[in-house]
Structure 1
Amino acid sequence: MNTIDCSSIGLKRALSFLLWMCKMELNIAFGKVLRAIRKQRGLTQEDFSEVSSRTYLSTLERGLKGPTIEKVVQLAGVLNVHPATLLFATFLSQQESRNRTDLIHRIETELAQLGEL
């Protein structure tokens, strides 16, 4: 019979694994969005040479790594989109309903609640 390890070490490992899986899913979603926008714009991976190596860009597009905020800004500059567009499209692609209006409403509500920063 199989048993479940409910010790604190077992729970920490399980939580770590789940967090890792979420991170990987987010990296994959970002990579797909990055590739889609790059191709839509008619850009090659070499067109990003000022901000990134072709190898690193390929790694991002395959979801093997996640970019820093600074890198998102640089990539967005080459793509000629706002960095928030890359992130918004990434999170939108992860939602089952993919309802852009609902996500925009949620972001607007949360920003209004934050007030002036």
Structure 2
Amino acid sequence: MMLTSVATSEISAPRAPRAPREPHIRRRTHVVVPLVIIDVTVPGTSSANGRRALHAALGDDLRLYVVTVDQQHERVTFRVEVTSRSLDDVIGLLTATLDRATLGRAQATVIRRPRDY
């Protein structure tokens, strides 16, 4: 036969009340920035003119990727990624500045960037 000993306290000691904790305030380590991705087709056979026109319309806070250069129909399609603007702002700027552009698929989302302290 195996014996097991268990120690129990017959006297329970009252616990001292805890001081209320300060509410933990979480500091964000990032900022949420809007991102718009849109396909834009402009007339021409060179992507350089289209790049200049898109930078003039939207500023420098964007990334441009050439999707297609259609020599036969003389048009260039770009994938444009614009940060810090809403989809409405981007479409408004493009339609006001580029009168012969064709706007394609558009997507609005957000990205997280490290916070500058």
TM-score category, normalised to shorter length: 0.3 to 0.5
TM-score, with length taken from structure 1: 0.32
Q: Which has the higher helix share?
A: 1
TM-score, with length taken from structure 2: 0.32
- Tell which has more relative contact order, 1 or 2 (C-alpha 8 A, sep 6+): 2
Q: Which has the higher strand share?
A: 2
